[in-house]
């Protein structure tokens, strides 16, 4: 069944929701009376297509179809998920829900992006209050995994479970907030930091830039991986959290902050902050700032992914859900042709100062293709745990065309030799039907106990023989066996 999401309100947040669903294979229907909505969401999509697919090391599903509608009823027709992202006015939201529930499927989930209203307020007067729930995201919605999922006792456990399942399926981390409160959880922290920052600026202690430097050069990086309490647990040393609280707890009585007080939003304060902010980052357009932000987020999140920690663990879980069927196995592949061994998008952190994919990352891609070929013939992690594997003895890469962040690449692999201890493969990297590069690898099967060449298992020998027979009619690939020529 085709998955359909309706996006009600196509601003920055609504556009981010649209991109997240669309790039994960859902059809997206947008309702927004703003005549500029299609242009604005289109610009968000440009950045999302460049950054989101590169978080995954397996291909995302084929992109869904986006459409724009003049009537709410047309937008929600057949939708299983409806995301409301209209301005933060309770009267407007309640009016929208009335129109939604008159037109939508009673089984559809209506999520609200509200950063402050409680779900009980949103459900007030609704014909089906059990259908409405808070699903508060963080910008950029297409990259950051956190969704604060806030239900009430009118939402059934089955509905909450379904909401979690659907959100997880598009790569979100749904944090189930079990007791409703104004501004939920995360925004209450943000509000506290925001209040203190306003006082620091007003009192002339720090500029907007200095405050941002204090966050991004220090605790912001720590929080990105460990959050607040785990960070402080580490700060307690071997004695742990109890020691930290005993050591720093008394500081809570000191007059360090003004969290219970807010400076008056005078024109003078607003002008001061606006001028400092312009001086800090006014040299960049909003779209440039979004791309800088996305570059940094992808790099940090992929680093966390390598450690399977924090947001990186969420990405790995999403990859694991996408991986089955993403690439063929021995029985699914057309062995008479070069075998698909890699399909993915080029991540932002694979590009270099020239704006194209770094030469070393071609080797990383070809190495991943070799690993997949090894899995196909039976040299998978289970086999390697028994004491055998392939070691690469020689590589040769030819660079044919540039490729850029967000490009969808494939590697197709021809086995030139697979016999005894020897494995010789030739990878061709494509974007569409454009040949980008070739990578040739010669490998030897090795005993991990002796670290010396050894025969592979009979099953691997049989798999290689099967591929060799099927590919016997293929021409020897152009460039195979080539070397760098000596200058004349």
- CATH number, domain of 258, equals 1.10.1040.10
Give the per-residue pLDDT at 111: 98
Give the per-residue pLDDT at 456: 97
Same domain, 171 and 197: no
Binding residues: 9-14
Give the per-residue pLDDT at 245: 76
- Whether 465 maps to a domain, the answer reads yes
Q: Band of the pLDDT at 25, cuts 50, 70, 90? A: very high
pTM for the predicted model, two decimal places: 0.86
Same domain, 122 and 193: no
Report the C-alpha gap between 346 and 327 in whole angstroms: 17
Same domain, 226 and 370: no
Give the per-residue pLDDT at 387: 96
Domain boundary among 176, 209, 232: 176
Same domain, 353 and 392: yes
Tokens encoding 62: 């084929």
* Total structural domains within the chain: 3
- Whether 130 maps to a domain, the answer reads yes
DSSP string over 330-350: TTTS-TTSPEEEEEEEPPGGG
Give the per-residue pLDDT at 135: 98
- Whether 233 maps to a domain, the answer reads yes
* Average pLDDT rounded to a whole number, residues 439-466: 97
DSSP conformation class of 351: B
Instruction: Tell me if 2 sits within 8 A of 79, measured CB to CB.
Output: no
- Whether 137 maps to a domain, the answer reads yes
- Whether 129 maps to a domain, the answer reads yes
Domain boundary among 176, 204, 235: 176
Q: For 231-267, write each residue's pLDDT tens digit.
A: 888 888 887 787 777 877 777 677 777 777 778 878 8
Give the per-residue pLDDT at 162: 98
Q: For the chain, give the mean pLDDT.
A: 93
Give the per-residue pLDDT at 132: 98
Identify the weakest region by mean pLDDT among 203-207, 323-327, 404-408, 441-445. 323-327
Give the per-residue pLDDT at 280: 86
Give the per-residue pLDDT at 486: 74
Same domain, 162 and 223: no
Domain residues for 245? 186-283
Give the per-residue pLDDT at 156: 97
- CATH number, domain of 336, equals 3.10.129.10
Residue 58: CA atoms inside 13 Å, Cβ hemisphere, count?
18
Report the C-alpha gap between 149 and 302 in whole angstroms: 25
* Average pLDDT rounded to a whole number, residues 261-286: 86
Q: Band of the pLDDT at 11, cuts 50, 70, 90? A: very high
Does the pLDDT of residue 445 top 80, yes or no?
yes
Binding residues for NAD(+): 9-14
Residue with tokens 């066996």: 481
- Whether 310 maps to a domain, the answer reads no
Q: Following CA atoms 8, 14, 18, 19 in sequence, which dihedral angle do they give, to the nearest 10 degrees?
A: 170
Tokens encoding 452: 């010396």
Does the pLDDT of residue 67 top 80, yes or no?
yes
Does the pLDDT of residue 76 top 80, yes or no?
yes
Does the pLDDT of residue 139 top 90, yes or no?
yes
Does the pLDDT of residue 485 top 90, yes or no?
no
Instruction: Tell me if 371 sits within 8 A of 57, measured CB to CB.
Output: no
Q: For 322-364, write each residue's pLDDT tens digit.
A: 988 888 899 999 999 999 999 999 999 999 989 899 999 999 9
Does the pLDDT of residue 409 top 80, yes or no?
yes
Choose among 480, 349, 331: nearest CA to 415: 480
Same domain, 197 and 258: yes
- Residue % of the chain over a pLDDT of 90: 78
| Pairing, β 408-419 against β 339-345 | antiparallel
Same domain, 101 and 217: no
Give the per-residue pLDDT at 131: 98
* Average pLDDT rounded to a whole number, residues 420-437: 97
- Whether 318 maps to a domain, the answer reads no
Q: Band of the pLDDT at 431, cuts 50, 70, 90? A: very high
Give the per-residue pLDDT at 231: 86
Report the C-alpha gap between 57 and 165 in whole angstroms: 21
- Whether 316 maps to a domain, the answer reads no
Same domain, 10 and 156: yes
Same domain, 376 and 455: yes
Identify the weakest region by mean pLDDT among 59-73, 246-260, 369-383. 246-260
Identify the weakest region by mean pLDDT among 145-149, 259-263, 287-291. 259-263
* Average pLDDT rounded to a whole number, residues 127-152: 97
Does the pLDDT of residue 389 top 80, yes or no?
yes
- CATH number, domain of 148, equals 3.40.50.720
SS (H, E, C) 425-439: EEEEEEECCEEEEEE
Domain boundary among 265, 283, 301: 283
Same domain, 269 and 196: yes
Q: Band of the pLDDT at 136, cuts 50, 70, 90? A: very high
Report the C-alpha gap between 484 and 307 in whole angstroms: 37
Q: Band of the pLDDT at 273, cuts 50, 70, 90? A: confident
Give the per-residue pLDDT at 242: 79
Same domain, 422 and 386: yes
Give the per-residue pLDDT at 282: 85
């Amino acid at each position: 069944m085709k998955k359909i999401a309706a996006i009600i309100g196509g601003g920055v947040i609504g556009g981010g929701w649209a991109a997240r669903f669309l790039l994960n294979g859902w059809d997206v229907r947008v309702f927004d009376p703003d005549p500029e909505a299609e242009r604005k969401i289109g610009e968000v999509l440009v950045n999302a297509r460049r950054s989101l697919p590169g978080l995954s090391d397996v291909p995302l599903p084929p992109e869904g179809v986006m459409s724009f509608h003049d009537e709410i009823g047309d937008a929600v027709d057949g939708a299983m998920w409806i995301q409301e992202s209209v301005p933060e006015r309770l009267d407007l939201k309640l009016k929208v829900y009335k129109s939604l529930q008159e037109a939508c499927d009673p089984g559809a989930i209506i999520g609200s992006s509200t950063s402050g209203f409680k779900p009980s307020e949103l459900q007030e007067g609704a014909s089906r209050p059990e259908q409405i729930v808070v699903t508060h995201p963080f910008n950029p919605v297409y990259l950051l995994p956190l969704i604060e999922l806030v239900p009430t006792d009118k939402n059934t456990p089955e509905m909450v479970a379904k909401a979690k399942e659907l959100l997880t399926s598009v790569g979100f981390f749904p944090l189930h907030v079990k007791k409703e409160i104004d501004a939920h959880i995360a925004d209450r922290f943000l509000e506290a930091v925001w209040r203190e920052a306003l006082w620091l600026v007003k009192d002339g202690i720090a500029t907007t830039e200095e405050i941002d430097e204090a966050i991004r050069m220090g605790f912001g990086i720590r929080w990105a991986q460990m959050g607040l309490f785990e960070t402080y647990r580490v700060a307690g040393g071997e004695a742990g959290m109890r020691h930290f609280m005993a050591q720093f707890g008394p500081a809570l009585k000191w007059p360090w902050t003004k969290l219970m007080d807010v400076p008056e939003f005078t024109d003078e304060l607003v002008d001061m902050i606006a001028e400092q902010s312009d001086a800090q980052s006014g040299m960049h357009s909003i779209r440039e700032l979004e791309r800088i932000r996305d570059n940094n987020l992808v790099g940090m999140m992929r680093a966390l992914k390598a450690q399977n920690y924090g947001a990186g663990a969420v990405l790995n879980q999403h990859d694991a859900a996408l991986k089955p069927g993403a690439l063929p196995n021995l029985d699914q592949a057309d062995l008479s042709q070069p075998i698909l061994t890699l399909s993915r998008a080029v991540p932002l952190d694979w590009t270099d100062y020239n704006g194209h994919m770094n030469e070393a990352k071609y080797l990383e891609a070809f190495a991943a293709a070799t690993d997949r070929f090894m899995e196909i013939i039976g040299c998978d992690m289970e086999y390697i745990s028994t004491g055998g594997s392939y070691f690469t003895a020689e590589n040769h890469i030819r660079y044919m065309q540039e490729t850029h962040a967000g490009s969808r690449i494939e590697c197709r692999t021809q086995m030139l030799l697979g016999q005894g201890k020897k494995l010789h493969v030739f990878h061709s990297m494509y974007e569409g039907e454009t040949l980008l590069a070739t990578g040739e690898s010669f490998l030897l099967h090795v005993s991990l106990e002796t670290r010396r060449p050894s025969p592979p298992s009979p099953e691997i020998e049989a798999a290689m023989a099967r591929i060799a027979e099927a590919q016997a009619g293929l021409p020897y690939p152009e460039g195979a066996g080539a070397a760098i020529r000596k200058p004349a």
